[in-house]
Amino acid sequence: MLDSVLDTSQLPVLLLVDDDKDVLAALERTLHGIQATIISYSCPTEALKYCKFNQPQIIISDQKMPELEGCELLSKIQVLWPDSQRIILSAHQDFQSVSSGFNSGAVERYICKPWDNKELRFIVSKALQNNSSHHVPQRQPLTDEAINFHSMIAAHPSMKTLFDNICQAATSNAPIFITGETGTGKELVAKACHEENFHQSQPFLAVNCANFTENLMESQLFGHIKGAFTGAVSAQEGVFAAAKQGTLFLDEITSLSKPLQAKLLRVVQEREFTPLGSTKSQKFHAKLISASSNSIRNAVLSGEFREDLFYRLNIITFSLPALRDRGADRLLIAKHYLKKYARIENKNFRGFSKGCLQIINQYNWPGNVRQLENIVHGIIILNNGDQINSQMIISALSTTISPIDNQDIINTIGESIRQENTAATHQVIPLWQTEKQAIENAISYCQGNVPQAAALLEVSPSTIYRKKQAWDESSLSND
């Protein structure tokens, strides 16, 4: 049954579907004044009949309805009107049932009950703007050329698809889960989601769950009141409260203990938490983004991670590709960081030699973008010149890869390296001497601080101590 009078004006049609007429009335009040013709149905099958003969530009549908669930309704409307903008309205407990709609593309936005009136009006207004411009996103189009999207440099199609998905998901308050190897840029993706959200002026807080013991992690997340435990001389706000209406990013979430997983599940389900030592619950308002460099599915299968929590965190998933799978992005990123750190360190580096570019392009970069950034930065700090050559990068990589890997690289691009050495009239230096020089330069730069030098070289301090001991012993034996 049609619950509101049809408007024949030329305004875009906003279709509201919810089996609860009180909810429909509340939605209509909230969206009053929006530049759209609002059509409301309390019966999803009647709404579907309407859509067979009329094109709605935006649909907001409840998920839990007796005749037809929201995701199924939006999927059918998607077939009829692929250009429609489809929004699901549901409680947090329904995350698992909604996830299939996101995966299939039937659902483009998620609004949680009870909704925030300002947020709902913002999402609908933005959808109307997209509709008026023929659904072209209000951002720079993704071209075949390299782009800088919130400090992420890319030209590879997989990354451009990721950027587009971030813009689509950012305005939703559904949980987002990010997977990817170490160094692929999971926190950058989380920050991009925050910046694309209309709550971008609110805090963005990032917590690495692997950095805390269980007790400290619980206090870090939930906060505590004075006297909650020995040493709690004053109350402390946790990140669930401090994030306010912004974004909370929980990295390496699979490292959480089972008791903390249970407490996090309550936060996700009920959108509330209780500080340690308190009996009063507080509301959690922020957008929740979590991530792991390990396989969360394997953690679930092994029993290390709760399956019910996995389904509630895994509504929208972003899988970040490894740098080795991003083709020419390796060179684009290297050039970006060369320009950045040459300016920061006041050096004259302006490019890479041919052999160096080949190494960058062929090395598998197990540490991904973070490793490439640190390698370029370290080379610029420890060397001078206008060009990073193959000898410099081999020296930098010699502390992070095995000799056989070095030899494979040298065999592959040996001709380029030999040409560089001939042109520069330099004698080839044994690899161990190059490695020794790199380590000694790093220690000198760090004013004798071995742990800092190790971090710069991306090795453990014990590696440096072991090599220094071997060199000292070799020197004594020669004497």
What's 290's domain CATH number?
3.40.50.300
Same domain, yes or no: 355 and 467: yes
Lowest mean pLDDT among 175-189, 251-265, 349-363, 421-435: 421-435
CATH code of 399's domain: 1.10.8.60
Q: How far apart are the C-alpha atoms of 217 and 224, rounded to whole Å?
A: 11
In this structure, the answer to whether residues 303 and 349 fall within a common structural domain is: no
With the C-alpha atoms ordered 241, 242, 244, 248, is the resulting torsion angle positive or negative?
A: negative
Give the whole-angstrom CA distance, residue 44 versus residue 28: 17
Domain boundary among 265, 284, 319: 319
Q: How far apart are CA 305 and CA 297, in angstroms?
A: 9
Is 1 within a domain? Answer: no
Is 90 exceeded by the pLDDT of residue 451?
A: no
One domain for residues 209 and 245:
yes
Alpha carbons 2 and 399: distance in angstroms, whole number: 71
Domain encompassing residue 429? 325-478
Token representation of residue 417: 């390296």
CATH (domain of 123): 3.40.50.2300
State which of 287, 319, 351 marks the end of a domain.
319
Cis bond leading into 259, ω under 30°?
Answer: no
Residue 95, in any domain of the structure: yes
Buried residues in 204-214 as b, exposed as e (16+ CB within 10 A): bbbbebeebee
Say yes or no to pLDDT of 239 above 90: yes
* Same-domain check for residues 425 and 278: no
Where residue 61 falls among pLDDT bands split at 50, 70, 90? very high
Contacts of 267 (CB under 8 A, 6+ apart): 240, 273, 284, 288
Residue 266 lies in a domain: yes
SS3 at position 448: coil
The domain tally of the chain equals: 3
The token duo for 454 is: 């190790």
For 320-340, what is each residue's pLDDT tens digit? Answer: 999 999 999 999 999 999 999
Flag whether 441 is in a domain. Answer: yes
Residue 450: which pLDDT band, with cuts at 50, 70 and 90?
Answer: confident
* Mean pLDDT within 116-144: 63
Confidence at residue 137, expressed as pLDDT on a 0 to 100 scale: 38
Q: Is residue 67 part of a domain?
A: yes
Q: Which of 102-111, 397-406, 425-434, 461-470 has the least mean pLDDT?
A: 397-406
Nearest to 112 by CA among 319, 276, 272: 272
Q: Which amino acid is at 56?
A: P
Whether residues 220 and 263 fall in one domain: yes
Give the N- to C-terminal CA distance of the chain in Å, as an integer. 98
In a domain, 461, yes or no: yes
What tens digit of pLDDT does each residue of 265-278 get? Answer: 999 888 899 998 88
E strand spans, 293-408? 316-319, 351-352, 387-388
Question: Are 188 and 288 in the same domain?
Answer: yes
Calpha distance 194→246 (Å, rounded) = 7
Distance separating alpha carbons of residues 141 and 74, to the nearest angstrom: 27
Q: What are phi and psi of 46, to 5 degrees?
A: -70, -35
468 and 333 fall within a common domain: yes
pLDDT tens figures, 199-222 = 888 899 999 998 888 888 888 899
65 in the same domain as 128: yes
Same domain as 232, residue 339: no
What does the alpha-carbon distance between residue 281 and residue 278 come to, in Å, rounded to a whole number? Answer: 8
Residues 357 and 303 in one domain: no
Name the DSSP class of 92: G
pLDDT computed for residue 422 by the predictor: 58
Within a domain: residue 300?
yes
Let me know if residue 215 belongs to a domain: yes
CA atoms within 13 A on the CB side of 42: 12
Last residue of a domain, one of 88, 107, 132: 132
pLDDT digits (tens, 9 = 90+) for 391-442: 899 888 877 654 335 555 555 555 555 565 555 545 556 777 777 878 887 7
According to DSSP, residue 251 is labeled: E
Residue 227 shares a structural domain with residue 300:
yes
- CA–chain centroid gap for 343, Å, is 27
Q: Is the domain of 157 the same as that of 290?
A: yes
Please count the CA atoms within 13 angstroms of the CA of 322 that sit on its side-chain side.
Answer: 10
Across 293-318, average pLDDT: 89
Q: What is the mean pLDDT of the chain?
A: 83
Is 273:266 a contact under the CB 8 Å cutoff? yes
405: CB partners within 8 A, 6+ apart: none
**Higher pLDDT pick, 55 / 7:** 55
